[in-house]
Amino acid sequence: MKKVMAVGVFDLLHAGHLHYLEQAKSLGDHLTVVVAHDLTVRIRKHEPVTGMDLRRRMVEGLKPVDKSIIGNPPEVSMFDILPQINPDVIALGYDQEHAEEKIRTSLNERGLSHIEVTRVEGLSDDLDGTRKIIAKILARENKQ
């Protein structure tokens, strides 16, 4: 069985998230999604609209997802979660800031060079990101 791991914040679930997870699932047989810890979201992005427990439940309810877990807090390396998941593939979203080569180098340093790192394609839609959706809502509100 080929195991795939996907990672993300998944705050305000939208079509872009579903597209990402559908593509990630197509890379293997079992998809585990790591939902970012609230503290990580606060440091790297913004105050989460929905908490990590609810985001994890919502992600796990999506058809392509076999399992979802909450990621490590920011003081713990993201690589520390790999033994728990034991992925064959790490699927990155098209807009995620992760550098594929940096991840590969870190995997090699940890003796995990067998894990493939793949970036999936984005959804060709103008509302494929949370920030885009919020901007459109605000633009509509400002017109009223």
Residue 2 and residue 28 in contact, taking contact as beta carbons nearer than 8 Å: yes
Report the half-sphere exposure of 102 (CA within 13 A, side-chain side).
6
Query: What's the CATH code, domain 3-143?
Result: 3.40.50.620
Q: Which residues of 9-37 are buried (b: 16+ CB within 10 A; e: fewer)?
A: bbbbbbebbbbbbbbbbebbebbbbbbbb
pLDDT at 94: 83
Structure token pair of residue 64: 């392509």
Question: In the chain, what are the domain boundaries?
Answer: 3-143
Residue 136, phi then psi, degrees to nearest 5? -65, -40
pLDDT tens across 58-86, in order? 999 999 999 999 999 988 988 999 999 99
Structure token pair of residue 112: 């995990």
CA dist 80 and 134 (Å) reads 33
The DSSP symbol for 74 reads T
pLDDT at 96: 77
Could you tell me the mean pLDDT of each successive run of 10 residues in the chain, 144 residues long? Answer: 96 90 97 96 90 97 98 90 96 83 93 95 66 72 73
Look up the pTM and report it: 0.86
Residue 120 and residue 92 in contact, taking contact as beta carbons nearer than 8 Å: yes
pLDDT at 21: 97
Structure token pair of residue 71: 């990621």
Please state, as a whole number, how many other Cβ atoms lie within 10 Å of the Cβ of residue 38: 20
